[in-house]
Structure 1
Amino acid sequence: MSKLSGKIAVITGGNSGIGLATAKLFASEGATVVITGRRQAELDAAVAEIGSNAVGIQGDVSTLADLDKLYAEVKNQFGHIDIVFANAGIAELAPIGLITEEHFDKIFGINVKGLLFTVQKALPLLVDGGSIIFNSSAVNTLGLEGFGVYSATKAAVRSFARTLTTELKERKIRVNVVSPGPIETPIFDKMGLSEQQIDEFGTNIATQVPLGRFGRPEEIAQAVLFLASSDSSYVAGVDLYVDGGMVAV
């Protein structure tokens, strides 16, 4: 039997990388998935790739009006939500001396503000006993050079999960976190690095992973499926590292 049969799942940033891999897996497990993305062409392509049980709604999670539009459409089409995967996020690197106000506001605006209001505005539609999963990162506990602001946003994500686990306990809504290590996704192409810097960065990071390689988006999707489904019915408030042992060892 499919693990998510009949479920309605909202996945922000579902047009590429981990979000798209998760949307495809959820759909294969019987869910109807509503994905968001900022670029309409990529969103349309993702919906076509996922199949008939996918809906794409264009929007930026850091813009509250876009989130209102998202949930108004979800309410109109489906009436409720069973699963929220707050996945949308960006990564740009800057050492302490080069951090600007614009850099800070941009990263926190999407990774923290966007995530918080994605969940807050979903709550009226989220069923009691539903599941919320946050996408954080292994760097929420690591001090990698240049990752200061990005790492801080991901630590904030982890903190929100703890608080919301307590605040939503009366509704039996489970809030959990998945924290990927280095994953082969388009995010590395959007860090503002040259191709040579990306190659050097990838080689350096891979040496820090006990399994000796980058992970695949599909491997993160399997962890998210676990946290979204009844397989994890007694799991709440956890931070599940899917990082090849990078943090634990």
Structure 2
Amino acid sequence: MSLDNPLSFFDVSGKVALITGASGAFGAVAARCLSGAGAKVVLAAGNADAMADVAATCKGDTHQINARPDSEDACAALVEEAVATFGRIDILIVASGMNKVAKIGDMEPATFEGVMDANVTQSWLMARAASARMQAQGDGGKIVLMSSARGLLGHPAGYTAYCASKAAVDGITKALGCELGPMGITVNAIAPTVFRSPLTAWMFEDTDQAQTVRNGFLTRVPKGRLGEPEDLAGPLLFLSSKASDFYTGHILYADGGYTAG
């Protein structure tokens, strides 16, 4: 690679990417972005029909696994099947996760634990399984976790589980960035604010309620708008490619300046 051809730093053609939560909004962005850039993508999700819809938008080699990363064995099996299909794993994108909103007095401990398991434990287990394979391959790798602006900032509307879980993801990212860096494996996280997805579509609608919520939120966003899926594609490609080889343990805020003010 050379500065005379800077786009070569972002080349992921022929790389093998495993994407968990591939049926969700961020997973779909990762699948379309990386497959469009020439990577071979392994999609994993519990919703087989939604995953098939995402796969239909991908280019090139694609493999689907109807499974969630909800146990140590499940995570190991996902990595094993990716390697059995395409021979190796170069990129891990953990796009799986969940949120349950309730005030602390109304949230059951089991609900809190469920959010922590989905967002924290499963991220850790997937990073554990994938990094072991990457170390065995001996030529590095890329791990990208899904954080949120809520890992840095609180929220008054019953987000204790979600905020705590994303702060923990940030901690995992930083710790693993230090631990795996000597092996050539970078570990970073993308932390968006609100962006368009099936769960947030109502905030983009032309209704009085949506406009009130949106306007209140936008007073904190210097860019003056909510996020679009395409806003996540650039950071994702950067963190999945050689362009980010000197970046690890980093939380990249895709938030229109929300956390800066």
1:208-234 deviations in Å (ceiling 9; x for gaps):
222221111121121011111111121
How much does 1:12 deviate?
A: 1.0
Instruction: Indicate how the Cα distance of structure 1 residues 187 and 120 shifts in structure 2: closer, same or farther if over 3 A, else same.
Output: farther
1:46 has 2:54 as partner: yes
Cα distance in 2 between the residues matched to 1:119 and 1:100: 28
How much does 1:245 deviate?
A: 0.5
Aligned counterpart, 2:182: 170
3-state SS, counterpart of residue 57 of structure 2: helix
Aligned counterpart, 2:78: 70
The sequence identity of aligned pairs, in percent, is: 31
Cα distance in 2 between the residues matched to 1:158 and 1:101: 22
Cα distance in 2 between the residues matched to 1:75 and 1:230: 21
3-state SS, counterpart of residue 98 of structure 1: coil
Q: Is the 8 A contact 2:40 2:61 kept in 1?
A: yes
Q: How many residues align?
A: 245
Deviating more after overlay: 155-164 vs 12-21:
12-21
Instruction: Indicate how the Cα distance of structure 1 residues 67 and 8 shifts in structure 2: closer, same or farther if over 3 A, else same.
Output: same
Q: What are structure 1's unaligned runs of at least 5 residues?
A: none
Q: Give the 5 Å matches for 1:195-234.
A: 201-234=213-246
1:248 has 2:256 as partner: no
Aligned counterpart, 2:64: 56
Cα distance in 2 between the residues matched to 1:150 and 1:37: 21
1:3 has 2:22 as partner: no
Give the structure-2-normalised TM-score: 0.87
Give the structure-1-normalised TM-score: 0.91
Q: Is the 8 A contact 2:25 2:197 kept in 1?
A: yes
| Equivalent AA in structure 1 for residue 243 of structure 2 | D
Q: What are structure 2's unaligned runs of at least 5 residues?
A: 1-7
Q: Is the 8 A contact 1:59 1:67 kept in 2?
A: no
Q: Larger C-alpha radius of gyration, 1 or 2?
A: 2
Q: Give the 5 Å matches for 1:124-135.
A: 124-126=132-134, 127=137, 128-135=139-146
1:34-80 deviations in Å (ceiling 9; x for gaps):
11111111111111121342211111222333323312211211221
1:123 has 2:131 as partner: yes
How much does 1:177 deviate?
A: 1.3
| Equivalent AA in structure 2 for residue 224 of structure 1 | L
Aligned counterpart, 1:94: 102
CA RMSD across the alignment: 2.1
Cα distance in 2 between the residues matched to 1:186 and 1:143: 23
